[in-house]
């Protein structure tokens, strides 16, 4: 064997060994995602605790600036209430909030303590001092937690010790966390200890598959269904979905895709069959209405194995029909 051949064998062998080594380390020891690449999704996910069962995101700025919003703007109720809120807090939802991330951590029973399970992270421009002063005026307390300002409000009318107080944490200059005290503290800890949802491989896989969506939600369906306290009769009839994701893009119209991952291929096939029937019914019902027919035609069912996906598009023609209906009602 010549030296040239030896070098070739060594180089190609090295590529294989390095690749296999990296793959094995990542598979068995959990290579942190951030080592080689930035994680999918917004940066705020670093504040979402690792045990979150559902994560949702909305680019408020995109939605507010969308043609869809402009179209329905004139039908919105009076701005008076909105202005009062702005005067007190200095916060204009339309201009000051850029994005919102919501998470659900179903620790206890969702049905009995829903507030305790939620966490909302809003990114934008906040007047912290003004908000703090307003909160103090209304009987809230302000304290530091791990170097972050935390405004806690105790509901004096509520004597149930099982329920947490609500809190707002100024976790970054342009980011606030809102939820129960436990949730907000968990958010601060999640970022500080680097034990957050970014390390949840399955969740991040679903987030990385979302494309060009300005609003989305991903989650572990079985985790929330198990904690929701549903009656056994309903729970037993629910499809065996393990993961789900919903992503939408709002602009002139609304388009999106709903995806579900089931426990096994048979459950997925059953779900596809049910959806096929519903789609056929929807198409039949929409037959005579041009706008609705377009909407029904845009519904596309796909998926293989354990995956089921339903994509849709609400075209501007359908929105015109809806707009006409809304205006007609307003006129009445």
Binding site for other proteins (CB under 8 A): 1-2, 4-5, 8-9, 12-13, 15-16, 19-20, 22-24, 26-27, 30-31, 33, 35-37, 39-40, 201-202, 204-205, 208-212, 255, 257, 300, 302-305, 309, 311, 313
Q: Which is nearer to other proteins, 3 or 161 (CB)?
A: 3
Q: Sort residue 113 into left (φ over 0), alpha (ψ -120 to 50) or beta.
A: beta
Instruction: Please state the closest distance from residue 1 (CB atom) to other proteins, in A.
Output: 5
Cβ contact 180:40 at 8 Å: no
Instruction: Please state the closest distance from residue 69 (CB atom) to other proteins, in A.
Output: 23
| Phi, psi (rounded to 5 degrees) for 251 | -150, -110
DSSP state of 100: E
Cβ contact 125:86 at 8 Å: no
Instruction: Please state the closest distance from residue 64 (CB atom) to other proteins, in A.
Output: 21
Instruction: Please state the closest distance from residue 313 (CB atom) to other proteins, in A.
Output: 8
Instruction: Please state the closest distance from residue 34 (CB atom) to other proteins, in A.
Output: 9
Instruction: Please state the closest distance from residue 218 (CB atom) to other proteins, in A.
Output: 13
Count of other CB atoms within 10 angstroms of residue 130:
13
Q: Which is nearer to other proteins, 33 or 56 (CB)?
A: 33
Distance CA 188, CA 25 (A): 29
Cβ contact 199:165 at 8 Å: no
Q: Is 23 helix (H, G, I), strand (E, B) or coil?
A: helix
> Distance between terminal CA atoms of the chain?
91
Instruction: Please state the closest distance from residue 14 (CB atom) to other proteins, in A.
Output: 9
Q: Which is nearer to other proteins, 27 or 78 (CB)?
A: 27
Q: Which is nearer to other proteins, 16 or 238 (CB)?
A: 16
307 class by beta-carbon count within 10 Å (0-12 exposed, 13-18 middle, 19+ buried): middle
Instruction: Please state the closest distance from residue 223 (CB atom) to other proteins, in A.
Output: 18
Q: Which is nearer to other proteins, 37 or 288 (CB)?
A: 37
Indicate the helix (H) or strand (E) that contains 181.
helix 181-192
Q: Which is nearer to other proteins, 35 or 156 (CB)?
A: 35
Q: Which is nearer to other proteins, 169 or 303 (CB)?
A: 303
**DSSP strand E in the chain: where?**
54-59, 97-104, 118-124, 141-145, 148-153, 166-172, 175-180, 215-220, 241-250, 254-262, 300-302, 307-314
Q: Which is nearer to other proteins, 15 or 332 (CB)?
A: 15
């Amino acid at each position: 064997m010549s030296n040239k051949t030896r070098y070739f064998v060594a180089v190609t062998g090295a590529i294989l060994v390095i690749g296999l080594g990296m793959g094995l380390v990542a598979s068995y020891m959990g290579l942190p995602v951030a080592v080689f690449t930035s994680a999918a999704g917004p940066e705020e996910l670093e504040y979402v605790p690792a045990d979150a069962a559902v994560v949702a995101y909305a680019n408020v700025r995109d939605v507010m600036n969308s043609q869809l919003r402009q179209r329905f703007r004139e039908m919105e109720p009076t701005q008076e209430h909105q202005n009062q809120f702005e005067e007190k807090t200095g916060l204009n939802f339309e201009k000051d909030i850029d994005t919102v991330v919501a998470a659900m951590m179903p620790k206890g029973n969702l049905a009995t303590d829903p507030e305790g399970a939620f966490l909302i992270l809003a990114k934008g421009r906040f007047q912290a001092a003004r908000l703090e002063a307003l909160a103090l005026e209304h009987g809230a307390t302000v304290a530091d937690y791990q170097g972050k300002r935390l405004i806690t409000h105790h509901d004096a009318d509520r004597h149930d010790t099982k329920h947490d107080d609500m809190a707002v944490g100024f976790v970054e200059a342009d980011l606030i966390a809102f939820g129960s005290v436990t949730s907000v503290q968990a958010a601060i800890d999640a970022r500080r200890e680097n034990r957050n949802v970014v390390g949840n491989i399955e969740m991040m896989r679903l987030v990385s598959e979302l494309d060009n969506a300005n609003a989305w939600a991903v989650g572990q369906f079985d985790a929330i269904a198990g904690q929701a306290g549903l009656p056994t009769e309903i729970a037993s009839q629910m499809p065996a979905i393990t993961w789900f994701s919903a992503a939408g893009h709002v602009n002139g119209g609304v388009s999106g895709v709903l995806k579900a991952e089931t426990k096994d291929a048979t459950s997925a096939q059953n779900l596809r069959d049910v959806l096929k029937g519903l789609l056929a019914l929807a198409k039949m019902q929409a037959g005579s209405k041009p706008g609705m027919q377009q909407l029904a035609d845009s519904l596309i069912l796909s998926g293989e194995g354990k995956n089921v996906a339903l994509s849709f598009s609400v075209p501007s023609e359908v929105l015109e029909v809806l707009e006409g209906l809304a205006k007609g009602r307003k006129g009445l």
